[in-house]
Amino acid sequence: MRAKRLDRANCCAVEATLSVIGGVWKPMIVYHLLEGRKRFMELTRLIPSATQRMITLQLREMEADGLLNRHVYAEVPPKVEYELTEFGASLAPVLKTLHQWGERYQRERYGTEPSLGCKRVAD
């Protein structure tokens, strides 16, 4: 059975947003790309709990949705870099707010400081 595809043009705006950046890995990828261009292996090191296959699938979907650009260089071995489009970068305030909320949640719920694995992106 094939999953039903959301009609993003005729749904709630929150539902449309979550269909584009929902899940665990897409927001993490966008968050790290806010710092600038990254090669694939850089992203896999920054998000070690995601498999390479999952990152690849998420990058493809995000490219199709217009959130990032894929730059392929004619070299041997091939060099590929990813960077946010202007539209993708417009998610910065949303992700920074999520980051701040997550820090507060960790402090209040667990009494711990946030993990160093997710460093703060400069304002």
- pLDDT of 14 reads 84
pTM: 0.82
Q: How far apart are CA 34 and CA 17, in angstroms?
A: 18
* Domains defined along the chain, listed by start: 12-110 (1.10.10.10)
Helix (H, G, I), strand (E, B) or coil at 118: coil
75-110 confidence digits (pLDDT tens):
988 899 999 999 999 999 999 998 899 889 988 998
